[in-house]
Amino acid sequence: MTTITRPPATRPPALTLDERLALTGLAMDDRLATAALAVDVNTARIPVDPLPEITVPLPPAAAPNPYRTPLAALLHRARVRIETDGWARGACRDEDGRRCAIGAIRAEAASPGQADDASALLLDIVRREFGGDSVPSWNDAQRGPRPVLLALGRAAELANSRNL
């Protein structure tokens, strides 16, 4: 009878950290190359339509703002908004986009608090120079935008003089 003996099993030598990192880097390079090839293959059949031409009208050139203080600049922008979009009464904004004095201030204000401060200055001008009780009722009593634009301009001057 013949006995065959196998040589004792030897474990391969342990890899150093640098060797393991090099093998892992090679494996990752292979996986990334395979993923890039899969993306190329999967997107090769997608038809590319040309993008439609999108034309957006340019906004009208705004009048330069002569004021450096925030509230004066806000009141000036509100005046310009009424001049460009139109003036409304009976609502802050009508279906055609026209705005009343308060609506224009709210549209241009950076925050509700800033809108309130600008509205208070406008109310001061309306009471002092036009004899109105509130800005909305005074705005609705006007026959045209001219007094509203005048009041917004004077309120901007007042804010500027008070450094607001």
Give CA separation, 43 vs 35, 37, 78, 140, in Å.
12, 10, 51, 61
Tokens of residue 63, six digits: 């009048």
**Residue-wise pLDDT tens digits, 66-99:** 888 999 999 999 999 999 999 998 888 999 999 9
Decide if 80 contacts 150 (C-beta within 8 A).
Answer: no
Dump strand ranges (E) for the chain: none
User: The pTM is what?
Assistant: 0.62
DSSP annotation of 51: P
Which residue shows structure tokens 């474990």?
11
Q: Are 121 and 78 in contact (CB under 8 A)?
A: no
**Residue 69 CB neighbours (<10 A):** 15
Task: Find the range with the poorest average confidence among 6-20, 28-42, 94-108, 143-157.
Answer: 6-20
Q: What is the pLDDT of residue 11?
A: 79
Per-residue pLDDT of 23-42, as tens digits, reads: 999 999 999 999 998 888 88
* Cβ-based neighbour number of residue 153 at 10 Å: 14
